[in-house]
């Protein structure tokens, strides 16, 4: 009888400890912050149909969303992702509660139809927008100043409307302007800038060689203390001639807690198979959302995303002799 009582007390104690552990884990789970990352793809409006391998706005962002969802080494935060293709509304509601918007699209002035998820077409007036649009953009700006990071990829970094240009300069500390910014397509050798090696976006990122069209030569304030230049690139051959001297091709902007990045690459869908390139983009997404980038960078994979090597095209002639994709 005594043994039974002892066993009973022992079992009750074990059960109580299990309940306490479960309750503690529940409390810890409740205290884990949530970060929401919203992927917004503009319509694929050139360079062939979906599956052609270039300007794959929807497919690029779905790959990146999957990679963010499957990151294995981000701790202490719950990441929730959303995706929308061809956003047309000027409704601010879907941006509220979002920690970062990641956009890939065409330039806002490239078509009379809506191409940019944030900005409407410029129309005949490239100086400003109507009152409703200005009120909406003021709300977007307020969300950004309150901590919603913004990252825009590829051609979407280019603006023609002067009001959109002003917002880009405020959000990113730089802007891509038609007639000034170049977009060389060729085989690039990309190198992290040594002076920026401690920036979280460059964690675990080494040099890489790949094929891309990179919108570069942006308009910047050279003395801006909020901008950190991250990458340089050279292309021995391109469709716009050689980029012989290292050209600044990526930077990060942080001002009073608001983070923004313009990344002019992301042309060839197959580039996401490159580990260093993919890690750079994933680190940038995490940083834009205010998530601590792991010491060795984001660890994820695109191996199960049905990515394929780039299809041969007319630009293969630009590949320098001995150039190795790595």
**What is the C-alpha separation between 227 and 319, in angstroms, rounded?**
32
Instruction: Give the Cβ contact number of residue 77 at 10 Å.
Output: 15
Render pLDDT for 254-267 as a digit per residue (tens, 0 to 9): 999 999 999 999 99
Minimum mean pLDDT range among 51-60, 113-122, 242-251 = 113-122
The residue behind tokens 């308009």 is: 219
Q: Which helix (H) or strand (E) holds 7?
A: helix 2-31
The answer to whether the beta carbons of residues 302 and 272 sit under 8 Å apart is yes
Q: Which residue has the higher pLDDT, 161 or 301?
A: 161
pLDDT score of 127: 85
Helix (H) or strand (E) holding 12: helix 2-31
Summarize pLDDT for 7-32 with one digit per residue, the tens: 566 556 545 555 555 544 444 456 89
Q: Going by C-beta distance under 8 Å and a sequence separation of 6 or more, which residues neighbour residue 18? A: none
Q: How far apart are CA 168 and CA 175, in angstroms?
A: 6
Q: How many CB atoms are closer than 10 A to CB 146? A: 9
DSSP codes, 139-188: HHHHHHHTT-EEEEEGGGGEE-SHHHHHHHHHHHSEEEETTTSB--EEEE
Mean pLDDT in residue range 56-61: 95
> What is d(CA 4, CA 11) in angstroms, rounded to the nearest whole number?
10
Residue found under tokens 């049905």: 306
pLDDT in tens, 268-288: 999 998 999 999 999 999 999
Binned at pLDDT 50, 70 and 90, residue 110 comes out as confident
pTM for this structure? 0.90
| Predicted local confidence at residue 223, as pLDDT | 87
What integer pLDDT is reported at residue 26 of this predicted model?
46
**Spatial contact of 220 and 160, defined as CB atoms under 8 Å apart:** no
Cα 99 to Cα 36: distance, rounded to the nearest angstrom: 5
Element of type H or E holding 135:
helix 131-145
Is the model's pLDDT at 251 over the cut of 60? yes
pLDDT (0 to 100) of residue 27? 42
Q: Give the integer Cα–Cα distance in Å for 209 and 204.
A: 16
* Residue range 188-237, pLDDT digits in tens: 999 999 999 999 999 999 999 999 999 999 999 888 999 999 999 999 99
Class of domain 34-318: alpha beta
Residues 208, 190 contacting (CB under 8 angstroms):
yes
Q: Which residue would you say has higher pLDDT here, 29 or 120? A: 120
**With left for phi above 0 and alpha for psi between -120 and 50, is residue 256 left, alpha or beta?**
left
Q: Is the pLDDT of residue 93 over 50?
A: yes
DSSP code, position 113: S
Q: What is the mean pLDDT of residues 282-308?
A: 88
Half-sphere exposure of 147 (CA within 13 A, CB side): 10
Give the whole-angstrom CA distance, residue 302 versus residue 65: 11
Give the contacts of 83 (CB within 8 A, at least 6 positions apart). Answer: 38, 39, 40, 41, 61, 62, 65
What is the rounded average pLDDT for all residues in the chain?
89
Range with the lowest mean pLDDT among 32-41, 65-74, 89-98, 296-305? 296-305
pLDDT at 261: 98
């Amino acid at each position: 009888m005594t043994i039974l009582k002892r066993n009973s007390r022992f079992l009750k104690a074990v059960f109580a400890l299990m309940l306490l552990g479960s309750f503690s884990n529940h409390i810890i789970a409740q205290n884990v912050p949530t970060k929401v990352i919203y992927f917004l793809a503009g319509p694929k409006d050139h360079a062939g149909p979906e599956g052609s391998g270039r300007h794959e706005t929807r497919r690029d962002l779905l790959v990146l969303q999957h990679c963010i969802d499957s990151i294995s080494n981000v701790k202490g935060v719950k990441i929730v992702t959303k995706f929308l293709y061809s956003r047309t509304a000027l409704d601010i509601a879907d941006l509220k509660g979002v920690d970062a918007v990641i956009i890939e699209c065409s330039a806002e002035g490239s078509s009379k139809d809506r191409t940019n998820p944030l900005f409407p077409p410029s129309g005949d007036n490239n100086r400003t927008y109507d009152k409703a649009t200005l009120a909406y953009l003021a709300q977007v700006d307020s969300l950004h100043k309150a901590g919603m990071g913004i990252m825009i990829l590829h051609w979407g970094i280019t603006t023609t409307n002067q009001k959109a240009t002003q917002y880009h300069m405020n959000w990113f500390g730089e802007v891509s302007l038609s007639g000034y910014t170049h977009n060389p397509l060729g085989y690039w050798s990309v190198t992290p800038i040594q002076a920026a090696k401690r920036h979280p976006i460059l964690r675990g990122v080494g040099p890489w060689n790949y094929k891309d069209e990179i919108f570069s030569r942006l308009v910047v304030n050279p003395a801006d203390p909020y901008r950190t230049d991250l990458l340089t690139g050279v292309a021995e051959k391109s469709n716009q001639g050689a980029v012989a001297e290292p050209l600044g091709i990526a930077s990060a902007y942080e001002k009073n807690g608001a983070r923004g990045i313009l990344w002019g690459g992301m042309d060839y869908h197959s580039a996401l198979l490159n580990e260093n390139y993919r890690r750079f983009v994933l680190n940038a997404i995490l940083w834009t959302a205010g998530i601590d980038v792991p010491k060795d960078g984001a660890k994820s994979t695109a191996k199960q995303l049905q990515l394929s090597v780039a299809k041969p095209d007319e630009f293969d002639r630009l590949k320098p002799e001995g150039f190795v994709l790595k």
